[in-house]
Structure 1
């Protein structure tokens, strides 16, 4: 489904996605059997069960199974794209709109519309005596032609509503279970969480479709009159006909089943793909694309396949806290007197990941402070006629251009770099002028909220990286017989402190305060969990290395920052 150089990685993902598809088909067949049982409800229980069994074992049911399998495989293809590709960053609302209008995005929306219509059509075909040309009298289990197409088009509407209600093109956050549980327990817990939400969402979808049909149903009724003579005289787009409880129940049921099947498939993919997998250590830390076996060092480098990188750090934090035998393998040398390749690669990749994360947070906080300072200054200082002062402040030292070298005096004004720089300055000034307009900035301006969300979307990786290297550092006091970890303890402490400072700076910025006030549950949970994990990691190292703090060759400002942890004041 995607290009993967490593054979072991490809086999692992294909195996898990295949199991997710098979489980999804089995659950959907169970749901369909329950629907057939409910829709053919009768007071004659023996006849009811016999009729239901006949429908389930009929050739129509087997045709339904084949069609459902094809639909599920198509849905699994789009699920794999969402789970296996790196998340995209939408700089502005216009960029997000352009992304939703791409051919691939339109194909995905069309797929959901088609699958909604196909599911309703298959479920209607399993009803007893159902036909698009039945008698006009409404009997239980029988439809008029307009009611049949009314329910059929409601399936298309459910796909359209779902494609706009659920932003399938947004960043995908991997939800790993906090406590290791079986797949059945995870699925049951997810079902209890999503069931009330799906009921309410399908109810709103039903009400919207009934309202649309009430205003647009006359055009549909006239179109049916031109193609069929069996339409009843009284149209369906009336209040009395639309408020038929049996029709509303069937309409809501098909909306609910569609959303349940789509969410169940996505949930099963997430449950299977996020299952913990132990990876082996290689002889070296180099990435080996020709190897048939995926090592832990390999998956820690797979930032192009996010789910594999998540599984790698999940295995790293698991062995760091629970697996003594594998930790001993990590603390060994490649050969007597050799280098600790595995440890060097693990600590390098983990610290680099945390350093990059802290740099991204500092960039967001710095820009937020610059914008707030600029807005404060422009609000307090009245405008002046002369525009030669930056930020409307008087400059005590005039700007003096540096004197160029004599041999470059003739070439600088005419060089291509000067012309390009001049054009770029004019272009940036023109763009800045356009973005100063509120409406243009709303559509084309960069959203600060998206920056925070995009930066914190890998918060789980940062939590695992910090927990892993801090736990390994602590266990090295008793298990590292070669002393290979001691040389990296100052780097680990400095990295964790830099992440803590970046998080503290971001928490004080007005940007995150607005995001917190907007009740963004995901951002709030990731941010709070990340701050707690960083502090917990620092406490873990400081409390165990307290007798050796002065022997770690730490700088004086770093030791002063660690005093709050030594005194338990953080």
Structure 2
């Protein structure tokens, strides 16, 4: 059962998604108005052109005709909102990704094709009779109108083109802007750029669609004609006839750009409304006068609602870096009655648990990373020593030889004695000996099968886990940790002058230890060469954030570090930050 805080956060997300869908519906009317202004252009009668266009836009006929498209847009908005709010899943192989996302991709495929067709059907209805009917009268009864089929298939093609380019391999991801602005300002600034981008991006796909339609036109028209018992239209039997229909190509280009523009704007609107800052409560009032809302600690603990964790982490970061200390005073305050640092203990405990859990995930992913080369490269007799260690050995040997010093170090003793050594070993139970033999045979068979299967072309591509994929997946979702580490460091730095009760100093050693542990893990990961390349910029961004946080704490508490940290190894590492020697 969901907690009250989780229900409140879900309501907040639903309200924002409803705003995005409403904006998508308004964008439909705006794009339809632009389309009608273009197709009904009249240079000789400009006033009549504008008045007739807007009267048509706001007529009852237009409202009824656009209803199917709005219904499909609402379904697409619900699907897109669920994709944004879902918890990200890790798929170790491409086959697991296909099995886990097949149903979702199929629904997305159908929705994009439906939106493209309904948009083409809606816009074609406002054109002349040459383009807005499927069947037209001819000398033999009814004939297909190939121009209408061309526009309808062009709309479906535009929707599927957007799906294959943006949604087939990738999932919708929320990217928070560097600078927060009013959402209406951001939406207005995006409209112009998206319209221009859609016009440019749709030109080449429309030309590709012309070639595809020319190749498959006879098959399409003959089957549609058989369904409606009509004569097929052969007006576009050649590529030249299609290319000479400038008006049809212009309508198709405008229609494809409208579809792409609507898709991009709806996606951008979801990101804008979901990333708008939200101010959470620091604490709730007494039971008799409890405030409605969600606290930062409650929002940070909602792992099933990732967007709530993102917003709470961003709010805590803004709180720690703000010039105003009003909300920070609530964190440093004591409870009444009791006089306990309840707010700080809850907040620091939740943040540290998230940071430590993230560090544990990184450590586990690094230790359990699959080694791809084990199945494709020949095994060497022994591990190759690092270049730095080998260079040190050469220098030591040269130094000893120059001074005539003998090498007193013998060969390292073997860990297990050779079979020829006469050493008494404890007698093994026959059952244990049989079990060990069976386990060894099973392991040999398992390794042989894996090696044989992984050498099959394409097998590892589908069923193998890429080296470092789990680590890259974890680092790609490290934005919360970037905010939380800097927020916790900012609160610690501000506590020196704002914390009247000294509630922060008690947790400083634990915070520094957690940051040092995360920094050490990131140093190892960023220096690794996984899957033939260095890890992406997420690792560098997170490591720099942790380093800034440590520098901020050590700069403020540099004179008291010796009194705060008892462990000598940690003190030695922290002194590098105090003396500005860490890079």
Query: Normalising TM by the smaller chain, what interval?
Result: 0.7 to 0.9
- Contact 1:71-1:115 at 8 Å conserved across structures: yes
Displacement of 1:64 in angstroms is 3.4
**TM-score normalised according to structure 2 size:** 0.81
- Contact 1:61-1:126 at 8 Å conserved across structures: no
Displacement of 1:125 in angstroms is 1.1
Displacement of 1:494 in angstroms is 1.6
Displacement of 1:567 in angstroms is 2.8
Change (3 A) 1:233 1:86: closer
Q: Distance in 2 between matches of 1:373 and 1:432?
A: 10
- Between stretches 3-12 and 36-45, larger displacement belongs to 3-12
- Contact 1:435-1:444 at 8 Å conserved across structures: no
Instruction: Give aligned pairs, total.
Output: 536
Displacement of 1:487 in angstroms is 1.4
Q: Rg larger in 1 or in 2?
A: 2
- Contact 1:117-1:152 at 8 Å conserved across structures: yes
Unaligned runs of 5+ in 2: 384-411
Q: 1:479 aligns with which of 498, 501, 512?
A: 498
2:216 is aligned to: 216
1:77 is aligned to: 78
2:16 is aligned to: 16
Change (3 A) 1:171 1:542: farther
Change (3 A) 1:326 1:55: same
1:262 is aligned to: 263
Q: 1:551 aligns with which of 541, 555, 563?
A: 563
Displacement of 1:45 in angstroms is 3.0
SS at match of 1:469: helix
Q: How does 1:127-526 map to 2 (within 5 A)?
A: 127-129=127-129, 130-133=132-135, 145-167=145-167, 170-191=170-191, 194=194, 198-226=198-226, 227=228, 229=230, 232-282=233-283, 293-322=293-322, 323-366=324-367, 378-379=379-380, 396-398=415-417, 425=443, 429=447, 432-434=450-452, 436-437=454-455, 439-448=458-467, 450-511=469-530, 514=533, 523-524=536-537, 526=538
Change (3 A) 1:107 1:291: farther
1:520 is aligned to: none
- Contact 1:88-1:171 at 8 Å conserved across structures: no
- Contact 1:213-1:237 at 8 Å conserved across structures: no
2:87 is aligned to: 86
Q: Distance in 2 between matches of 1:117 and 1:480?
A: 62
1:60 is aligned to: 61
- Contact 2:91-2:97 at 8 Å conserved across structures: yes
Q: Deviations over 1:202-250 (max 9, x none)?
A: 2343233222112111112323454465655433452332453322222
- Contact 2:280-2:293 at 8 Å conserved across structures: no
- Contact 2:144-2:230 at 8 Å conserved across structures: no
2:102 is aligned to: 101
1:140 is aligned to: none
- Between stretches 366-375 and 67-76, larger displacement belongs to 366-375
Change (3 A) 1:536 1:381: closer
Displacement of 1:26 in angstroms is 1.3
Change (3 A) 1:335 1:425: farther
Q: Deviations over 1:437-492 (max 9, x none)?
A: 26321210002353243112222101111111000111111111221111111111
**TM-score normalised according to structure 1 size:** 0.83
SS at match of 2:294: coil
Q: Deviations over 1:152-172 (max 9, x none)?
A: 012222222222222357444
Change (3 A) 1:370 1:213: closer
Q: Deviations over 1:273-326 (max 9, x none)?
A: 111111113459xxxxx9963222111011111101111111111222224111
Displacement of 1:413 in angstroms is 8.1
Q: Distance in 2 between matches of 1:440 and 1:334?
A: 61
SS at match of 1:15: helix
Displacement of 1:336 in angstroms is 4.8
Q: 2:575 aligns with which of 549, 552, 563?
A: 563
